[in-house]
């Protein structure tokens, strides 16, 4: 059974819209009632609506804390059983709120739909979605409310999709239902050139390309979870980010068509990420296979490596540096110290007070000198670059974390991002 090729959407004049509301948007009874009014308005405009919701803000953290009171390392299967209750509360309350204002609605947990996943508890991946029940309810004029973040395994066990899973649920449902648009409602009114809390002059973008959004999400932008963006790209889901806390507004459309205006803007956005740590393995033998010896051990420990530098060898030895998530810093350092003798390394050290700042834009493909502008702007502020990583549409630098906000402000100004 092919994933998401689940049923054919019948020709209809109205649009089929999937709306996703995060924890802040449904954080209180009053906010759930406001979401109900917004959803009812979309239905009144003649559209079919499927709503995906998260648990109320703070609820998942509360459940995680309870689980850790029972076990230091909670059993993954039982952890999923506990965690899914958060979204189950929200779908029931939202269905009630809609019924209270005269709108017919029906709630579904992930496994009632059913959202079929693999067996990787607490970080499951969606295999396919059965859309028949939803299709029937929409045909009957109901608003369908689905619990995000959750599904069911082939063995009949409850599963959860991991961090940001409700975004992924919404996009996957939109793909399965062949929805006209997937709208992600958050506590911000779109995607900004950078975090407005760091740069007050940051500007909301009306459109951004899928590639740019994927880069920004992977580089630290918190607006959309990266797996949901990957899903949208794979299944060509039209995705829009909107605010649930204000009326009106077009938000930001993530588009698959690149136009001339996108090419004109050399840099579209700036992302930063404090979740970084640098590991240095110095004086290892400069011979084939040394990179594999180092990175193979890291991969076996299920630790993700981001930036990598291997210096030019001198006198038969070389230095090897790479970055890992900050939470994995100690484990990685211990691992490398354990391999120090077999690698023939002179020294293993690191630094967990670094951060990554990145510029992103499809316009980089057709403009030269972008990296030079970035490096000059940072140099003028006395900010030292420790590592550099590039792709076709991004340049990332590793710097001391104390300069993170300054670097972001300087680069935002250097590339004129405050101007429309």
pLDDT in tens, 164-183: 789 999 999 999 999 999 99
Cα-to-chain-centroid distance, residue 167: 8
Q: What is the pLDDT of residue 263?
A: 55
Distance of CA 301 to the CA centre of its chain: 23
pLDDT value at position 222? 75
More confident residue, 370 or 261: 370
CA atoms within 13 A on the CB side of 233: 15
Confidence of residue 189 (pLDDT cuts 50, 70, 90): confident
Average pLDDT over residues 387-395: 93
| Collapsed DSSP state (helix, strand, coil) of residue 289 | coil
What average pLDDT does range 135-160 have in this prediction?
Answer: 96
Rounded Cα distance between 238 and 168, Å, is 14
Q: Give the total residue count for the chain.
A: 420
What's the per-residue H, E or C state across 33-91? Answer: HHHHHHHHHHHHCCCEEEEEECCCCCHHHHHHHHHHHHCCCCCHHHHHHHHCHHHHHHH
What average pLDDT score do residues 335-353 get? Answer: 94
DSSP state of 217: H
pLDDT confidence band for 286 (50 / 70 / 90): confident
Which residue did the predictor score with more confidence, 368 or 142? 142
Whole-angstrom Cα distance, residue 112 to residue 158?
10
Token readout for 294 is 């180092």
Q: Give how far Cα 171 sits from Cα of 122, 166, 233, 408, Å.
A: 19, 9, 10, 30
Report all structural domains of the chain as residue ranges with CATH numbers, in order of start. 16-187 (3.40.1160.10), 270-414 (3.30.2130.10)
Cα gap 351→368, rounded to integer Å: 33
Q: Are strands 181-186 and 239-243 parallel, antiparallel or unpaired?
A: parallel
Tell me, what's the pLDDT at 262? 54
* Residue 248 pLDDT exceeds 90: no
pLDDT digits over 290-306, tens only?
899 999 999 999 899 99
Average pLDDT over residues 77-99: 97
d(CA 156, CA 29): 32
Band of pLDDT at residue 82, cut at 50, 70 and 90? very high
CA–CA separation, 368 vs 387, rounded Å? 20
Give the Å distances, CA to CA, from 47 to 133, 139, 142, 192: 18, 11, 11, 28
Any residues with CB less than 8 A from the CB of 402 and at least 6 apart, and which?
353
Q: What share of the chain is helix, strand, coil (3-state, %, to 5)?
A: 40, 25, 35
Q: What is the pLDDT of residue 374?
A: 96
pLDDT at 258: 63
**Do residues 240 and 182 make contact, with C-beta atoms less than 8 angstroms apart?**
yes
- The mean per-residue pLDDT over the stretch 234-258 comes to 86
Is residue 36 predicted with pLDDT exceeding 50?
A: yes
Reported as type and span, the H/E element at residue 208 is: strand 207-209
**At residue 9, does pLDDT exceed 50?**
no
Phi, psi of 16 (to 5 degrees): -105, 120
DSSP code, position 232: H
Please state the rounded mean pLDDT for residues 98-109. 98
Rounded mean pLDDT, 353-360: 96
- pTM (predicted TM-score): 0.81
pLDDT at 227: 86
For residue 259, what pLDDT is reported? 60
pLDDT band at 12 (very low <50, low <70, confident <90, very high): very low
* pLDDT at position 126 over 90: yes
**203 pLDDT more than 60:** yes
Mean pLDDT (the chain, rounded): 91
- Pick 170 or 311 by higher pLDDT: 170
Kindly tell me the burial class for residue 28, based on how many C-beta atoms sit within 10 Å of its own C-beta (0-12, 13-18, 19 or more): exposed
């Amino acid at each position: 059974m092919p994933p998401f090729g689940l049923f054919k959407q019948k020709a209809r004049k109205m649009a089929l819209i999937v709306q996703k509301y995060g924890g802040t948007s449904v954080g209180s009874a009053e906010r759930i009632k406001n979401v109900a009014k917004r959803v009812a308005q979309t239905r009144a405009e003649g559209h079919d609506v499927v709503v995906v919701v998260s648990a109320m803000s703070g609820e998942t953290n509360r459940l995680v804390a309870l689980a850790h009171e029972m076990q230091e390392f909670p059993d993954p299967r039982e952890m999923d059983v506990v965690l899914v209750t958060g979204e189950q509360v929200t779908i029931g309350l939202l269905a009630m709120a809609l019924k209270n204002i005269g709108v017919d609605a029906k709630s579904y947990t992930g496994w009632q739909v059913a959202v079929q996943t693999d067996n990787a508890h607490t970080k499951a991946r969606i295999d396919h979605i059965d859309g028949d029940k939803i299709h029937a309810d929409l045909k009957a004029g109901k608003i369908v409310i689905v619990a995000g973040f959750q599904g069911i395994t082939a063995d009949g066990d409850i599963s959860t999709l991991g961090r940001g899973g409700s975004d992924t649920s919404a996009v996957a449902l939109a793909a399965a239902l062949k929805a006209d648009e997937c709208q992600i409602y958050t506590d911000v009114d779109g995607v900004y050139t950078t975090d407005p809390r760091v740069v007050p002059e940051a500007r909301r973008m009306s459109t951004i390309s899928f590639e740019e959004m994927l880069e920004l999400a992977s580089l630290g932008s918190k607006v959309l979870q990266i797996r949901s963006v990957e899903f949208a790209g794979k299944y060509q889901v039209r995705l829009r980010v909107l605010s649930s806390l204000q009326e009106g507004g077009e938000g930001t459309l993530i588009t698959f068509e690149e136009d001339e205006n996108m090419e004109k803007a050399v840099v579209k956005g700036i992302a930063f990420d404090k979740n970084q740590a640098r590991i240095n393995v110095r004086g290892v033998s400069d011979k084939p296979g040394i990179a594999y010896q180092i990175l193979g051990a890291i991969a076996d420990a299920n630790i993700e490596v981001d930036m990598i530098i291997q210096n030019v060898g001198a006198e038969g030895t070389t230095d090897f540096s790479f970055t890992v998530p900050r939470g994995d810093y100690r484990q990685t350092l211990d691992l490398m110290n354990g391999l120090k003798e077999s690698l023939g390394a002179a020294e293993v050290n690191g630094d967990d007070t670094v951060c990554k700042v990145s510029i992103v834009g499809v316009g980089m493909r057709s403009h030269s000198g972008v990296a030079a502008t970035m490096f000059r702007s940072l140099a003028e502020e006395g900010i030292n670059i420790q590592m550099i990583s590039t792709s076709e549409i991004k340049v990332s630098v590793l710097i001391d974390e104390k300069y993170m906000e300054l670097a972001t402000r300087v680069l935002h100004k250097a590339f004129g991002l405050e101007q429309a």
